Every structure is written in structure tokens, then in C-alpha cells.
Amino acid sequence: MDEYILALDQGTTSSRAIIFDRNGQIRSIAQKEFKQIFPKSGWVEHDPNEIWASQASVAAEATVKMGLNGTNIKAIGITNQRETTIVWDRKTGEPIYNAIVWQDRRTADFCDELRKKGKTELIRSKTGLVLDAYFSGSKIKWILDHVKGAREKANAGELAFGTVDSWLVWKFTRGRVHVTDITNASRTMLFNIITQQWDPELLGLLDIPESMLPEVKQSSEIYGETTTTIFASKIPIAGIAGDQHAALFGQMCTEKAMVKNTYGTGCFMLMNIGKEFIASKNNLLTTVAWKINGQIQYAFEGSIFIAGAAVQWLRDGLGIIQTSADVERLALSVEDTQGVYFVPAFAGLGAPYWQPDVRGTFVGLSRGTNKGHIARAAIEAIAYQTMDVLNAMQADAGMEIKELRVDGGATANDLLMQFQSDLLNCKVIRPTVVETTALGAAYLAGLATGYWKNVEEIQQLWKAEKEFIPAGDQAVIKNGIKNWKRAIHAAQAWNDKLPE
């Protein structure tokens, strides 16, 4: 009887289920979007029960589509939107508040207070993270402080916290298993990634009882079995990793200095830095890449807030293209940007700048600028931002990269991929399977259950669909980089307040 691995990819806007075979090929896929809740400006929430319902329904749909029942599924792997925070009642299993999503900024003032108290370095030295509302810790504190009776219940050991992976495992096992994996734990701002333990000092700082927290496990091991009625038989849940970590593993970046970049709404770049924790000196995060067979790997991470979202803006905001795919054709209608540069800082500048108040800026516009130049400048901006992050990574790691492995929707744009290769002066490789996040979760689950023997066997499955080799005029490229830096400087200068 053929066996498969089911990967559950619980994202920010949709839940997906993908079934993979032994060759790492997709055999079935199902997807369902769910509601985004915006109670106030800067607040973003999800309904945890809707997250569960949507994920359970696509899991059933993907298996039924293939005519499978639970006995054909060897294991389940879970990958998830990170940092999103859920607190629920241990007895009833009901959430006490909506999930507070990673994008939510309601705790920014509290984080500013901690910064003023000089806690930035303490947090960075233990967690590898910058002190920011992005991470789960301050979100848990907010729920305990603002939901009536929550703090009393938490102190009595009656509440459970989890990121989305924990919540799904809890629901699949009907409350028998309360775990997270080390990658998700490393994004809470409560977990010491050197000692690999929840940190009492950080829990004290944020006033969070340790009894709420899940047990931290490896990224590849059997956590428990499904006990829901979704499947005809019990299936082991055997792999968990946050989405970017899963993508790094799905891209088989298993050696030091291997790098992947996911081109989605934003860009997330991760570099495998090996078995030792290295603190970033260039505004990157240090995070746990994964832990398998007792062996931990660390990674640098750089986040770019606006990448594909800049193209969506050309479509929805300016109306100069009808579909996102049209941007490449429009950009190819001109030879270059004619000196136009676009800094798409709609939500501030991410790594390596971390300047949340900077806003989007066009420079170099002339009477001759047309929509083709605007489109080309938007595509190039994605590549320039990626270059900034990669340069910071190379400086931090003291290593030069030879290739960049890429995934995500925008990698279909050959113009972008070629320009990226020219800018970085290295090979850019697009794999045959671009669903690398779900694939990484499948690989982790398959390893734990013997579906694949070892990492070496999985490495044989990774195949390039297309390689982009540097081909641009380096003098022109260097001039472009210099002008990009000027454009960033212009965006930063606009944010500076003039004296009254």
C-alpha cells in the first residue's frame, strides 16, 4: 500500500494541506482562506476556532481528493505563521481571546518602555531577537492584562499559551498534547536559544507564569497521534517548524552559509550559520533553524516587509496592471528604469535598517517617466532590498555565499530573478517544487517516522528548475547600487523632522 506524508501549512491568510510522495512531489492540495479581523488601527486578529476548522477541513479535503484514508498517511508535518499568539482554557479548550497575529502592533508602547529601561541587550543576548511587538511575549502579557480574570486563571495554572502549531496539535490530540517545537519557541521572546530553555528572567520581565507554556520539542520527532474523527485511523504528528525555518529545510540549506529567500508579500531570508549561536552586529535576528536528532542548527534571519506587496499596490492602488503577473511584461517594455528608484517602505524599513517610521519614496522621476519605468523600479526594489539583507548576513557570518535558493510567488518573475543574480553576483536557483514551506514540514515528519532514512536521502530529491547566472554589466550594476543607497537615504531624510 502506497504511503504519503501530509503537510499542514497554516498561514496568515489561509490554511493549506499538501500531500507529498516519496519523491517529494505534490500529489494533492487543498486551501481555504479565513477571516482577517482588524478591531483597531494596527491591531490584527484571527479566530482560533476558525484557524482550526479551516485547517481540519483542508486536511480532510486533500486526503479525500486522493481517495485516501488515515492508513495511507504515514505522518503529519505542521508549519505555521510564527509569533501569532493564542491563549486558551485548559479545561474547556476554548480560547479566552482571539489570536493576536504577528503583524499586530498593540504592544509597541510596552516594548518602548522596556527599551527605555535598557532591556534591549538582555533580550537580544538570550533570544537572538530585537525587542519588538512582532514577537509573542508581549502579546501574551496583553491578553493576561486585558481579559477579565485571565491573570488569576493563569496563576492558578488553568490557562495554556501556544503559537499556532501548539494550538493545532492540542486540537488534533483533543487536549492530550501541549507542545511546541524549538523554532516556534525561539520566536516568543521568552526562550533562551543558548540554554534551549524557557527563560525565568524573561518570564519575570513580562510577568508570564511558566505553567502556561508548552513543552519544547525538537523539529522532527513524534509528538503524539491524532484522536479526532477527521481520519479513519490514528496518524502520528511528527514534524513542526515555523514557516521560514520549514522553507530553509525544504530548500535543503543544511550546510553552513547556505541561504534561501522566500519572495512573498514580504521577503524572508535565512542563512544557515551552523551549530554555534552567533549574535548579529548588523540588525539581523539570530534564530534556531531546527533541531533534529539532538543536533541544533542556528540561522540568521532578515525580514523585508514589502516585496510582492509592492506589485499588488501597482495593481490595486495605482491600477497600472490587471494581474500581478503583468508586471514583468510591463517592466520589459522599457530598457531600464531611466534613473527611477522606488523604496517601498509602506510599513517602514525592515532589516537591516529597522526603521518603522520611514515611508515609501520614489526618486528620480522626470517628465519622461512612464508606467513601464515604475513597474521596473518596483521589481528592482525587491532585489535591492534582498541585497541589503544578504550583505548584512555575509558581514555577520564572515562568509561569502556562492548561491541563493529562492521560493515564493514572485520567483516566477524571470526578470526579477536575473536582476537578483546580477546584483548579488552569484547564482540564483529556483527549485522544481516551490512549495518549500510545506515540503520542509513533510521532510521533518518523514524523517521522524522513517519514511525517509536520513537527510542525505532527502538531499537527492532537491532539484533545480532554473538557474540564473550573473550576466549584467558590472559597472552599470555598481552605479545602480550607489543610487539605491541614495534613494534609501532620501527616504530616511523625509522621515527626519525639520526644526520648528
Q: Which residues are annotated as a binding site?
A: 12-14, 16, 82-83, 134, 243-244, 265, 308, 312, 409, 413
Neighbouring C-beta atoms of residue 80, cutoff 10 Å = 31
Q: Which of 199, 235, 188, 181 is nearest to 72 (CA)?
A: 235
**Rounded to whole angstroms, how far apart are CA atoms 11 and 32?**
10
Q: What 3-state class would DSSP assign to 169?
A: helix
Q: Cβ distance 270 to 290 under 8 Å?
A: no
Q: What would the grid cell of residue 89 be? A: 482554557
List of residues 6+ apart from 334 with CB closer than 8 A: 370, 372, 373, 376
**Side-chain-side CA neighbours of residue 32 (13 Å):** 17
Distances from the Cα of 311 to the Cα of 54, 425, 470, angstroms: 28, 24, 24
CA end-to-end distance (rounded Å), the chain: 76
Distances from the Cα of 292 to the Cα of 144, 193, 286, angstroms: 34, 15, 18
**Rounded to whole angstroms, how far apart are CA atoms 71 and 78?**
18
Q: What would the grid cell of residue 445 be? A: 515528519
DSSP 8-state assignment for residue 85:
B
Cis ω before 200 (30° cut-off from 0): no
Going by the annotation, the residues of the binding site for ADP are 12, 16, 265, 308, 409, 413
DSSP 8-state assignment for residue 70:
G
Going by the annotation, the residues of the binding site for glycerol are 82-83, 134, 243-244
**Rounded to whole angstroms, how far apart are CA atoms 414 and 411?**
7
Neighbouring C-beta atoms of residue 103, cutoff 10 Å = 17
Going by the annotation, the residues of the binding site for sn-glycerol 3-phosphate are 12, 82-83, 134, 243
